[in-house]
Amino acid sequence: MEKQRKNEKEKRKEKGFSRLSTASVVESIAPSPYVEECTTIEHRCRYIKDNSFYGWLKILLSLPYSKVMELDKLLAMPALLALLLLYLHFMRRKIRNGIQNLPPGSSGWPIVGETFKFISAAREGTPVRFIQERMERYDSRVFKTSFLGDPMAVFCGTAGNKFLFSNENKNVQVWWPSSIKKLLRSSLVNKVGDEAKMTRRLLLTFLNPEILRNFVPKMDTIAQIHINTHWQGKEQVVVHSTVQKYTYALACSLFLSIEDPLHDSKFSSRFHRFLKGLVGFSINLPGTRFHQAMKAANEIREEIKKIIKQRKVDLEEKRASPSQDILSHLLATPDSNGRFLTEIEIMDNILLLLFAGHDTSRSTLSSLMRYLAQLPHVYNKVLAEQVEISRAKGEGESLQWEDVQKMKYSWNVASEVLRLSPPVTGAYREALRDFSYADYTIGKGWKLHWTTCSSHVDPRLFANPEAFDASRFEGAGPAPYSYVPFGGGPRMCLGLEFARLEILVFMHHIVKQFKWDLVNPNEKFKYDPMLEPVDGLPVLLHRHH
């Protein structure tokens, strides 16, 4: 053994530092008895008791200049290789673009593309800046970018919306970033074609106006309890975190019959972690938002699993009704093929509904509160409409479906809020095959993005687009495909009616009891991933006499 070591040492000496190896570098500075035992530079660093950046620095500093130069060469190899790969990547892209007449635009950096530019525009609350800058720069209805690692074409304006909404299952199909897909595994967002149609139909048999009209009195009670608990007697309220309690309570009640969800603070904190990790890079490493969200989603599933177990017993023993909430509905109703959803599908679809129906409405209510504070003439008209509805009712009588139908001006106001401050920037599709759009080739597998802002603030579609004007929604309303806060086509939002009811019921009670002022009139809103006020929108409350 000793002899073998001596031989190796001799051989290395003969080779000298002209053929420098990591082993020889360390050997030259580390105490030899330790070095003899080790094979890699990291291993040796451990022996000099400092396997850290500092340890490596110590090695480098203690090398003679000539050796450092050699080490440079060694380290330069991977860097050169990376540069070469980058060059080949750009060349391949350039050649392909030339052949295929791809839409104009930049794919940005490899892997990350223009993700950070898009996210930073969204975080500043101005995704429209990202879109408009490019529409102007390329003078095109469609431009190319790259988002979350995928090439992506952004379809703009009514023509873009119309194309994507009317080509579902023909040229395109719904697509969501992998973080959403992984978190909402077997839910509707991961279903396409006939399977998606079947699941949508099943969910819509609960979320349609005919069924939801029966829940208006329940929504009314939840809104009143919410306002009595979280607004009454307060001088100042932080709107965004407070309205969340309402949308959350409503979703938990109508989806799972959990009547006092805020009691369970664990459930709501899990839910918060789940929501924050839904949109972004799906890197499942401790400390990342996505990792937190995966953990939270599994914990929520466990909770829902327990509820399902109990509910099955209750349904069998007729202690629960098949129409009491969406959970009972999904357990008791087969799809049009006579198949019942599996337990996992039910859990994932409920998680989807909690996600899709919670922060969207919360964002709308926060924006609504801001506009009503800023625009007293609009507030006064909403108040007059709501007081009129109350007057026609008996003392203490709950709101009914028919009352909500009368809230026409209030809904026009909410619609204008959704035009100017849509909770989501848009949604995604995927190209099923190569196809041509506006004379450009869109490649199979490309990700496609429609956006709310590309049409909502277009002056050709909405005169004086920056102005708040609820009358735009009177009569025939906006041009087709120009107003799209809920998307469109076969994958349009399933919760429109649910959202309409929860927003109007909340408006009814809040304006009837309070007027309010913004604490910070210049507070900005940002997308993270939904639109939200950066400081939570604190308001000063004034109770009506």
The reply to whether 185 sits near ligand HEM by the rule CB under 6 A is: no
The reply to whether 423 sits near ligand HEM by the rule CB under 6 A is: yes
Instruction: Report the half-sphere exposure of 136 (CA within 13 A, side-chain side).
Output: 7
Asked if residue 45 belongs to a known ligand binding site, the reply is no
Contact in structure between 478 and 182 (CB atoms under 8 Å):
no
Alpha-carbon span 297 to 291, nearest angstrom: 10
C-beta of 41 vs 499, nearer to ligand HEM: 499
C-beta of 472 vs 491, nearer to ligand HEM: 491
- At 314, list the tokens: 């209750």
Contact in structure between 59 and 67 (CB atoms under 8 Å):
no
Q: What is the DSSP track for 166-218?
A: H-BTTTEEEE--HHHHHHTTTSGGG--HHHHHHHHHHHHHHHSHHHHGGGHHH
Applying CB under 6 A, among 105, 488, 536, 538 the residue interacting with ligand HEM is 488
The reply to whether 364 sits near ligand HEM by the rule CB under 6 A is: yes
- Supply the angle between the helices 127-138 and 115-123 in degrees, to the nearest 10: 130
Alpha-carbon span 182 to 200, nearest angstrom: 20
C-beta of 127 vs 487, nearer to ligand HEM: 487
Site string for ligand HEM, 137-176 (x = CB under 6 A): -------------------------------------x--
# of chain residues touching ligand HEM (CB under 6 A): 26
The reply to whether 511 sits near ligand HEM by the rule CB under 6 A is: no
Applying CB under 6 A, among 492, 518, 519, 534 the residue interacting with ligand HEM is 492
How far apart are CB 39 and ligand HEM at their closest, in Å?
Answer: 54
How far apart are CB 490 and ligand HEM at their closest, in Å?
Answer: 7
C-beta of 202 vs 296, nearer to ligand HEM: 202
How far apart are CB 498 and ligand HEM at their closest, in Å?
Answer: 4
Binding span for ligand HEM by CB under 6 A among 128-136, 140-148, 275-283, 481-489: 481-489
Alpha-carbon span 518 to 538, nearest angstrom: 6
Residue 309: its H or E element = helix 289-316
Burial 342-376 (b: 16+ CB within 10 A, else e): ebebbbbbbbbbbbbbbbbbbbbbbbbbbbbbebe
Applying CB under 6 A, among 153, 202, 499, 510 the residue interacting with ligand HEM is 499
The reply to whether 529 sits near ligand HEM by the rule CB under 6 A is: no
Applying CB under 6 A, among 26, 184, 198, 427 the residue interacting with ligand HEM is 427
The reply to whether 361 sits near ligand HEM by the rule CB under 6 A is: yes
C-beta of 320 vs 530, nearer to ligand HEM: 530
In three-state secondary structure terms, 464 is coil
The reply to whether 222 sits near ligand HEM by the rule CB under 6 A is: no
Other Cβ atoms closer than 10 A to 78: 9
Listed in sequence order, the residues at least 6 apart from 484 whose beta carbon sits closer than 8 Å to its beta carbon are: 161, 426, 450, 452, 455, 456
Applying CB under 6 A, among 188, 372, 531, 537 the residue interacting with ligand HEM is 188
Instruction: Report the half-sphere exposure of 459 (CA within 13 A, side-chain side).
Output: 4
Residues of this chain that interact with ligand HEM (CB under 6 A) are 174, 188-189, 200, 207, 352-353, 356-357, 360-361, 364, 423-424, 427, 485-488, 491-495, 498-499
Per the annotation, binding residues for heme are 493
